[in-house]
Structures are given as structure tokens and as C-alpha cells.
Structure 1
Amino acid sequence: MLDGLRWLALEVKYLDRAQSFYEAFLDLEVRSESDHEVAFAAGDTDLVLRRPHSVPRGGLHTHYALSIPRGEYDSWYERLDERFDLVEHTFGDSKSLYFYDTEVNCVELGQSDVAGPGVDGVFEVVFEVEDLDRAQALYGELGFETVDEGDDRKRVRMTAGSFDIELWEPHLGLADARGGVHVDVGIEADDPGAVVDSAREQLAAVEETERGYRLRDPDGHYLTVVEP
């Protein structure tokens, strides 16, 4: 069973500039760093900034959503509105604001039931896919459950416990966001081997690593399945 997002990696051209952005505007603290990547603490998830170095590279123009406490939303909006052309949307009784980082990733801050303070987790990542039906079937086999489908069938929302993914055919979404290309995520599962076996025939590649199993889907996205 899938149950948590361990990391999300983003490809950056200039690591120092991107690191400064996330420290200055999102108050993220560095959890680890090397010559080619920096991992920030976003709740229990690592938000990784990675220079092109090897595969998996990290996602390009990835739309992803960070959790913030409900009561902090207005203060985050006021603070970021001084610098960015924010876009705001309401989903039921929750609000989200959208802006772009130095690498044209669309960053969403969404009201969530988290303790905080500040950014406290990643609750959504968007993957761009060529064939929506194929991708939906694959991620269903991996353990994601479909919870919403766009009226025009350009997107599908799927959940796995504490986080969601959205599968998008190429298009511009809210705030003109795009789905990520060659996204790299780490996902927790009680039995990584069983997750792999459930969808092995549909995967482009499977590699056993020290941390679990690294999977590559037909659209070039990487998922590493690890034990909690």
C-alpha cells in the first residue's frame, strides 16, 4: 500500500539562485546538500533541487502543491503579493495561491489541515502524460485510486493516502501551469516489491536500489518505492 511522498525533485539550472529563492520566499530549511543538489524540509517530504547530473534528473516545469496551515493563508498571500503576480482559486472551503519559481515551476500554497508553522508537506504533484488512459491504468495498478476526472478528459486526479497526483495531457491548467516532464518522486510503501510486481509489465524499466525499487513509466517519470 502506498502511503506517503518521501521526496519530489526539481531540475534547476543555477542551484544557488534556486536555493536562495526557496529560502527567502518559502522559509524552507536545508535538510541535506551536495555539489549538485539541495534537499529542503517540506514537512516530512524532501523538496529536492537538482542540477543536471545523472538520471533521474528531476522534473521540468512541474506544477506541485505545498500544504500550509489554514490560519496562515492570509499572511502568506500578503507577503508574496508584494513580489509576485499571484493567482488565487477556491476549492470548497479551501483556498490556494499560485506563483512561479526561478525555473518556471508552478508552486501552489494550499490551505490544509496541517500543524505548521509554515510549509508542512507536499500534497499534490502533476505529471504530464501522452496517453491519459494508459497512465491512469498504470498508476491504478501501482495503488493510486482515481478520485476525479476532468470534464474534457484532459486530466485525472488520483490519491494514495496523504498525497495526490494529477495526470495531465499536454495543456495549460490553472495559473497557466503545465504538468511536469521527467518528474522524480519517492513514495513510501509497506511492501515495495509487491507494488512493483503489480505493474511490472506496464513499466518501461525497473531497477532495484539500496532504498527500494526505482520505476520508470512510459512517459519518462521516475518513481522510487521505499519502505517507511
Structure 2
Amino acid sequence: MITTIEWLALEVKYLDRASAFYRDHLDLDTVTKRENEIALAVGDTDLVLRRPTALPRGGLHTHYALSIPAAEYDAWYDRLAEPFELDEHTFGSARSLYFYDTEGNCVELGESEASGTGVLGVFEVVLEVEDLDRAEVFYTALGMDVMDRGSERRRVRLDAGPFALELWEPQLGIADARGGVHVDLGLGVGHPETALERVEDRVSAVEPTDEGIRVRDPDGHFLTFV
């Protein structure tokens, strides 16, 4: 049902400092610049850096993952090892490196077999939730499938189509990452009204926007169905 991840918004104190981090270290280009937010291109997804001036705010301490070509992984590691203390992990045959941005978000760069160069897109977002079972019911109602569950930590990994959505109860994960709170996600669904019907009895707020329909999930995360 979900076909694209349109945007992931992060809360930042200082737009210039935060946007410079992503331009300088990850070579992301600016898509739009407004008074209180800057959007950077991550493949077909906008990484939105937003000052906390209104709702929805961007996410705090959000762990998310960006894909890079496998052929470029070593070059990225060498480039980032000098300014950052990298934490590296292997999942099957794929390697990932972890580091932190200026706002305490844990950024993961993971190997991908996709063609291209540079940062290719967002392949994972982690949300902090109060009740894992309740959150799982909410997101599976949107058509997401359970991929795996944590054996040592309370977490669920869901297949959200173009990316993986992880739900974590409050905890520290790999590289001491945390799930994001009040995260703002834009999701391409084709028919926003149909998506709303699936979860309307579980959301705490519904609002039409210029892009589509925005809802607030049981844990305070904002989703806009586009």
C-alpha cells in the first residue's frame, strides 16, 4: 500500500549548522529552503530539517538509515572515519556504519546493491513507541508486514514497502541509537482516504493538508498520507 517515503523531518536548533553537516559530510543537495526549514534530497526522499516553531515538529534523536552503493562503502568509511567515531556492524553480507549528526540523530549508512552513486535513499526509520503491541496493530493496518521481532530487545521490524519501519519500546540500540519521538513522515499511498479508513479509529488527530491527509498515531508520530 505504501509506495514511497516522501519525507522524513528532523528537529534542529540551528538550520545553517545542521544543513551544513549534511551537505559537507553526505553531499546532500538543498531542495527547498523556507524560513524555518530546509529540505535536502536523499534520492527521492526529502530529509527535512525543521526548527521547533509549530506542529508537527521534526523527530528528536531519530535513528534512520541511508543506502549507499556497496562499491563506495570503503571510500565512505575512510572519509567519515576522520571526523567521526564510527561504529560498524554487519548484517548478513551487508555492512553498515553508524555516526551522529549535530542534533543527536544516529545516522546509518548501509551497503546497497542498487545502482548509482552517493547517498541513494532512506531504507529504515526507527520510531519509539510506548506499547509495542498497540503500535504493531496500527502499522500493520496500513498494510505493513512483520519482518522480524527482537529476541533480546522489545522491537518489531516492519516491511513498509520502500523502506523498513522499526518500532522500539524505549531503549538503546546499536551504537546507542534511540527511536525517534514525534517523528514526521510523509508516505506515498496512492489513495489517502483509503489509508485513513484503515486507521481512523486509532488516530488521535486528522487534518487535511496541501499534500494529503495528516494523522497522529497513538504514540504522537505524524504521518501524512500523500
Q: Same fold (TM over 0.5)?
A: yes
Gaps of 5+ in 1: none
- Decide which moves more: 204-213 or 71-80: 204-213
- Decide which moves more: 148-157 or 184-193: 148-157
Aligned-residue offset at 1:153: 5.2
| Partner of residue 107, structure 1 | 107
| Partner of residue 174, structure 2 | 174
Is the partner of 1:201 in helix, strand or coil?
A: coil
| Partner of residue 60, structure 2 | 60
Residue identity (%): 61
Distance 1:95 1:31 in 2: 29
Distance 1:64 1:49 in 2: 14
| Partner of residue 137, structure 1 | 137
Distance 1:153 1:174 in 2: 11
Paired residues, number: 226
- Decide which moves more: 164-173 or 143-152: 143-152
Q: Is the 1:143–1:195 Cα contact (8 Å) retained in structure 2?
A: no
| Partner of residue 183, structure 2 | 183
| Partner of residue 75, structure 1 | 75
Is the partner of 2:3 in helix, strand or coil?
A: strand
Distance 1:3 1:113 in 2: 20
Q: Is the 1:146–1:157 Cα contact (8 Å) retained in structure 2?
A: yes
Q: Is the 1:4–1:160 Cα contact (8 Å) retained in structure 2?
A: no
Please give the residue correspondences for 1:196-211 in structure 2 after superposition, counting only pairs within 5 Å: 196-211=196-211
Distance 1:191 1:142 in 2: 12
Structure 1 position 21 matched with structure 2 position 21: yes
| Partner of residue 49, structure 2 | 49
| Partner of residue 214, structure 1 | 214
Aligned-residue offset at 1:217: 0.7
Q: Is the 2:2–2:162 Cα contact (8 Å) retained in structure 1?
A: no
Q: Is the 2:87–2:97 Cα contact (8 Å) retained in structure 1?
A: yes
Is the partner of 2:182 in helix, strand or coil?
A: coil
RMSD: 0.8
C-alpha deviations, 1:190-212, integer Å up to 9, x for none?
Answer: 21111110111011111122211
Q: Is the 2:158–2:166 Cα contact (8 Å) retained in structure 1?
A: yes
C-alpha deviations, 1:44-66, integer Å up to 9, x for none?
Answer: 00001001121101000000000
Question: Structure 1 length as normaliser, TM-score?
Answer: 0.97
For 1:41, the aligned partner's letter is: A
For 2:182, the aligned partner's letter is: H
- Decide which moves more: 106-115 or 175-184: 106-115
Aligned-residue offset at 1:162: 1.3
**Change in 2 beyond 3 A, CA 1:165/1:73:** same
